[in-house]
Amino acid sequence: MAGVDEPREVVGEFRRRELLVPVVDGALLSAEAGGIRWLFAFTDVTALERFAEARGEDVPAWVPVYGARLLDQVVPRVDGPTGVAVDAGSEAGFVLPPVTGIVPDRVAVDTGESAA
């Protein structure tokens, strides 16, 4: 998120922000990489459209979701380790991995100190 450098600040800003989560065939758009399911979330329609265009896919719908709800309620309901890819494919893109301090402890893949 523009102008935010500290990991705690990035997570805090993400949690407070309303994001666009693409929906395809009735499910939230995601991809698996490295054994982790990554949900896609976008900060604006332009970023979402660029992502879809780069993939050569249509994204017929999206739902607005606050970051806190995505991390606290949606991620724990997905089978297996799940993180969030924010503005995927853009220079400002980043990931929020499924670790302590980002997702609820019960679904975090690490057991060490907070990653945020």
Write the DSSP assignment of 9-33 as a string of letters: HHHHHHHHSEEEEEEETTEE-EEEE
Mean pLDDT, rounded, for 89-114: 85
Confidence tier at 116 by pLDDT (50, 70, 90): very low
pLDDT band at 60 (very low <50, low <70, confident <90, very high): confident
* Mean pLDDT, the chain, integer: 89
As a CATH number, domain 7-103 is 3.40.1350.90
**Whole-number pLDDT of residue 102:** 93
Where does the pLDDT of residue 4 fall: very low under 50, low under 70, confident under 90, or very high at 90 and above?
A: low
pLDDT of residue 85: 97
